[in-house]
Amino acid sequence: MQIREEVRKAVRERDSLDGMRRAFETIVERRKANAERFHDLQSAKDRLRELKEFSVGNDELLALAVSSLRENGCRVILAETRNSAIDLIAREVEGLSLVVKSKSNLTKELHITEALSERGVEVVETDLGDRIIQLQGGPSVHPTGPACHLTREQISALLSEHFGRPVSDDPKELTKAVKEEISGYLNRAQAGITGANAIAAREGAIVIVHNEGNAARCASVPGRHIVVTSSEKIVPSLRDAVDVASLQIFYSTGKLASAYIDVISGPSYTADIEKKIFRGMHGPEEVIVVIVDDGRRTVADREPLFCIGCGSCLTHCPVYSVVGPLFGTPGHPGGQGLSLLSSMDRLREAKDAGLYLCTSCGECKVVCPAAIDTRKSILKGRQACIDQKLEYSSEHGTVVASVRNYDNPWQMPRARRARWSSALRLPSRGEVIYFAGCSTSFLFPDIARNTVSLLRSIGVEPVYLGHSEKCCGSTVRKLGDVELARAKAESCFRDFAEAGAKVVVTSCPGCYSTLDSYDDLKRNSGLRVQHISQYMADHMDRLRISPVDDYGRVTYHDPCDLGREKGVFDEPRRLIEAALSSSAIEMDRFGSESACCGAGSGVKSSFDELALAMAQERVRHAESVGAETIVTACPWCVKNLRDCQGTNPSVSVVDLTELLLSSIAKER
Ligand code: SF4
Ligand code: SF4
């Protein structure tokens, strides 16, 4: 099935992920509640970032880890490719009939369970959630809560069928049934496979975090313990490894500690009798550490490898919230997974698994303990798709061709661009230029007219380029065509300079963040770029506002390009505060953690159902705090938040310029 069809289906069936969303909310709430109790969280995060910057791709550290592990009696195998990793692991379990396994993202990525089963070795997942997923045959939805989307009724039906007897839907009964079955397997297994949360290079120690106790039992199976891991898990010291594990626990569950943190540095042994070493006392005789590279040493972008697999980005991603594991692959879930696949040059796979579903909202970076900029990496992946001539979806192809040929994304004749301004008689030269941009010009002429009225109200007569105004390149930049985007921006800056402008004011946060991103163009032309909310906030002393109460309870929705991308959070709020007779209220997620409306980065043009579903979630956020009006400062947010409510909206959606203008009109 094509990704578009899969997305449509997932949006239609999104109720099936209600359990996942509830579980994610619980994690997020617990994390908030415990944030103060985590000792110096910000420093721990900064340190994690530093550690990853230092460790990922560090060959000396890898060599130290290998030699320390070997010194401790581990057998270390370096596997260059996924196929060689599978073959090597298969060789280690050859002739065995039963292997138990605990949770590991890398083994999911390598499809180890399936690969060994095909070779006649039964592999049993021992984590409760993973075992349920193994029996169900569906995808897991979170690295540490793989089955959290399934209801107890669904699990009861699944287990009843599996055991051939009724299993009640009481969670205790369900857990007990699986526990008893897994215990039997653990007792009979001849080898155990685990992952590693971190590896301490200096001490040659493997750190494994778990709650159920299953990982320790897999690691203690008498025969052999096979650790399947990758080089990005290596950090300099045991102390660093425990620090990584602590953040992983906190961000994946919201808890301060897991039930177990195991440190394994070699096979089980005793030397109690005459100091003679006897291996395999109560645990395995052998510990085999398989370090899988699979393209990691040659990644185009190191940043996705900083991931510690906590899944925090998934709990906040608007796309994942709607379509779940469809966004990504089983071993590479969500945007981070796709950015890693892209940087490993597995572009086709990344594209088919949703590389173009990401709205570039950037929330994942805010909630990531390692501050991984997945948005940026996704855009690099899209750029690589262009370099390798992977085709766009037909909609995105049309958008890019239209920007190239018509200077707007919708094949609108250039002559129609300036229609909104026909009665305004705007000058063509002057210091302050109003850049209306494509969406405002063609889709939201009212916002353009409002903006001009606002500027005039503070004594500014803005320059407007009319039908000569070009596209700024925002959309094509987000679709990865950085060359075309740059050419468009250069053309815009040439026009601005010729018009004698010193300041460019935009209505659209996408235009603002795009034009403002070219430091050299700004420097060479001596131009400053501002969003209208910034410009008006800078000139509040000239605004003659009379507060209004026509909008009921108002909340502000932060557009991603304005807020998270450019850090403009306060200016719109100050203007709203001045324009309203009573204070606006905040949604639970606001400011840097604001949820995306779902329209950005070409998602609305190619996956409208998904964009609308994300907007519906955002409207629900507003409803849940009792808001009657959402004010925002982006034409696309206005459109998507209105479109998703159809003809009978429960919450009005108003652009900031409209609110400000109504408060100024009152004054007059
Ligand atoms: S990208 Fe960041 S938030 Fe997402 S799983 Fe990795 S470490 Fe956690
Ligand atoms: S940028 Fe937004 S949509 Fe994209 S992966 Fe991150 S959270 Fe999800």
Q: What pLDDT shows up at residue 145?
A: 84
Q: Does residue 308's CB lie within 6 angstroms of at least one atom of ligand 1?
A: yes
Token representation of residue 228: 């399947």
Characterise 628 by phi-psi region: left (phi > 0), alpha (psi -120 to 50), beta (else): alpha
Q: Which atom of ligand 2 approaches the CA of 560 most closely?
A: 2
Token representation of residue 33: 């509640």
Interval 411-425: pLDDT, tens: 999 889 999 999 999
Does residue 357 contact residue 558 with C-beta atoms inside 8 Å? no
Q: Does residue 572's CB lie within 6 angstroms of at least one atom of ligand 1?
A: no
CA of 5 to the centre of ligand 1 (A): 28
Does residue 514 contact residue 432 with C-beta atoms inside 8 Å? no
Torsion over CA: 229, 232, 235, 241 (sign): negative
pLDDT at 668 over 70: no
pLDDT at 585 over 70: yes
CA of 371 to the centre of ligand 1 (A): 8
> 171-188 and 128-136 are packed helices; what angle lies between their axes, rounded to 10 degrees?
90
Q: Which residue matches tokens 């970032």? A: 49
CA of 91 to the centre of ligand 2 (A): 39
Q: Does residue 310's CB lie within 6 angstroms of at least one atom of ligand 1?
A: yes
Q: CATH topology of 397-538 equal to that of 544-667?
A: yes
What number does CATH give the domain 397-538? 3.40.50.1860
Interval 464-480: pLDDT, tens: 999 999 999 999 999 99
Q: What pLDDT shows up at residue 666?
A: 63
- Measured by CA distance, the residue closest to atom 6 of ligand 2 is 364
CA of 333 to the centre of ligand 1 (A): 10
CA of 318 to the centre of ligand 1 (A): 15
How does the average pLDDT of the chain come out, rounded? 95
CA of 361 to the centre of ligand 2 (A): 5
Q: Does residue 317's CB lie within 6 angstroms of at least one atom of ligand 2?
A: yes
Mean pLDDT computed over 276-295? 93
Q: What pLDDT shows up at residue 161?
A: 96
Q: What percent of the chain has pLDDT over 70?
A: 99
Q: What pLDDT shows up at residue 386?
A: 92
Q: What pLDDT shows up at residue 378?
A: 96
Q: Does residue 368's CB lie within 6 angstroms of at least one atom of ligand 1?
A: yes
Considering every ligand atom shown, identify the ligand nearest to the alpha carbon of residue 375 and give its number: 2
Interval 123-159: pLDDT, tens: 999 999 999 999 999 888 888 789 988 999 999 999 9
Mean pLDDT computed over 384-404? 90
Q: Does residue 128's CB lie within 6 angstroms of at least one atom of ligand 2?
A: no
Which of the four pLDDT bands, split at 50, 70 and 90, describes residue 393? confident
Mean pLDDT computed over 96-101? 96
Interval 23-68: pLDDT, tens: 999 999 999 999 999 999 999 999 999 999 999 999 999 999 999 9
Q: Does residue 20's CB lie within 6 angstroms of at least one atom of ligand 2?
A: no
What number does CATH give the domain 50-292? 3.40.50.10420
Does residue 244 contact residue 51 with C-beta atoms inside 8 Å? yes
pLDDT at 667 over 60: no
Q: Does residue 27's CB lie within 6 angstroms of at least one atom of ligand 1?
A: no
Mean pLDDT computed over 508-520? 98
Q: What pLDDT shows up at residue 184?
A: 96
Considering every ligand atom shown, identify the ligand nearest to the alpha carbon of residue 244 and give its number: 1
Entry pTM: 0.94
Distances in Å between the alpha carbon of 328 and those of 1, 35, 247?
15, 29, 23
Sheet holding 75-79, edge to edge: 75-79, 286-292, 224-230, 191-194, 98-101, 122-125
Helix locations, 508-634, DSSP H: 509-516, 519-525, 532-538, 570-579, 603-606, 608-624
Q: Which atom of ligand 1 approaches the CA of 371 most closely?
A: 2
Q: Which of 51, 232, 307 to mutate to test the pocket of ligand 1 (most atoms within 8 A of CB)?
A: 307
- Measured by CA distance, the residue closest to atom 1 of ligand 1 is 307
Residue ranges per domain, the chain? 1-37+302-391, 50-292, 397-538, 544-667
- Measured by CA distance, the residue closest to atom 4 of ligand 2 is 358
Q: What percent of the chain has pLDDT over 90?
A: 92
Q: Does residue 358's CB lie within 6 angstroms of at least one atom of ligand 2?
A: yes
| Architecture of the domain whose range is 544-667 | 3-Layer(aba) Sandwich (3.40)
Mean pLDDT computed over 537-546? 93
539: three-class secondary structure by DSSP:
coil
74: three-class secondary structure by DSSP:
coil
Domain 1-37+302-391 fold: Fumarate Reductase Iron-sulfur Protein; Chain B, domain 2 (1.10.1060)
CA of 666 to the centre of ligand 2 (A): 41
In 10 A of CB 630, how many CB atoms? 26
Token representation of residue 603: 């998602």
pLDDT at 241 over 90: yes
Q: What pLDDT shows up at residue 141?
A: 87
Identify the CA nearest to 210 among candidates 132, 97, 128.
128
Under 8 Å CB-to-CB from 510, ≥6 apart: which residues? 437, 439, 472, 474, 475, 561, 600, 634, 636
Q: Does residue 334's CB lie within 6 angstroms of at least one atom of ligand 1?
A: no
Q: What pLDDT shows up at residue 500?
A: 96
Q: What pLDDT shows up at residue 471?
A: 97
Does residue 301 contact residue 340 with C-beta atoms inside 8 Å? no
Mean pLDDT computed over 269-280? 90
Considering every ligand atom shown, identify the ligand nearest to the alpha carbon of residue 232 and give its number: 1
